[in-house]
Amino acid sequence: METFLLEDLDYQWMLIRETPYSQKFAVNIMDDQRDVTAIIDVHYTRPDTVHASICFICEQCCFTDGLCHGLFFDLEKIIKRNGTYKFINYTMTVAPSLHEGNFPIEY
């Protein structure tokens, strides 16, 4: 991924994984009141629609609309730099922790 895709964003974004049709990011969202991490899995699936799975890792009391709006403004910038998409379909959750891993498929 070219570095310009993560320039001029409000929050601190880090690319975790990238394929031709998807990107996964960790986002550090800091302000005077909180320090929250968001994990975002973006899939460029249709000509005009992107799907994003978003997990805010924090206590429910830390989550605000402002936190969400700022993240979507940044996400919109990244998506526009990847193509001419018109919509972000998303699934969002707030959780105190997140576990990720992989599971081998045996044949």
Q: Domain map of the chain by residue range? A: 3-16+24-61+79-95
By three-state DSSP, how is residue 69 classified?
A: helix
Which pLDDT belongs to residue 2?
53
What pTM does this model have?
Answer: 0.85
Q: What is the pLDDT of residues 30-81, one digit of tens each?
A: 866 778 899 999 999 888 999 999 999 887 776 777 778 889 999 999 999 8
Q: Say which amino acid occupies 80.
A: K
The whole-angstrom separation of Cα 47 and Cα 44 is 8
Mean pLDDT of the chain: 87
- Percent of all residues in the chain with a pLDDT value above 90, rounded to a whole number: 51
Helix (H) or strand (E) run with residue 86 in it: none
